[in-house]
Amino acid sequence: MFTAIDHPAISCLDVRKLAAWYCKHLGMKIVGDNGQEPASLLLGYDDNLRVGATLELMPVKNPGPPPVEVPRFCQGLRHFAVRVSDFDTAYAQLKAADIEFLFEPVIAVGGGKIVSFRDPEGNEVQIVQR
What pLDDT score was predicted for residue 3? 87
What is the distance between the terminal CA atoms of the chain, rounded to a whole angstrom?
A: 26
| C-alpha closest to that of 122 among 75, 83, 70, 81 | 70
Domains of the chain by residue range: 1-62, 76-130
Starting from the edge strand earliest in sequence, which strands make up the sheet with 80-83, in order? 80-83, 124-129, 113-118, 106-107
* Number of neighbouring beta carbons within 10 Å of residue 123: 22
What pLDDT score was predicted for residue 78? 94
Q: Which CATH class is domain 1-62?
A: alpha beta
| Average per-residue pLDDT for the chain | 96
Residue 51 pLDDT greater than 90, yes or no: no
Q: What CATH architecture does domain 76-130 belong to?
A: Roll (3.10)
Let me know: does 99 contact 26? Beta carbons within 8 Å: no
Q: How far is CA 117 from the centre of its chain?
A: 10
What pLDDT score was predicted for residue 50? 87
Give pLDDT tens digits for 52-106: 899 999 999 999 999 999 999 999 999 999 999 999 999 999 999 999 999 999 9
CA gap 18, 105 in Å, rounded: 24
Same fold, 1-62 and 76-130: yes
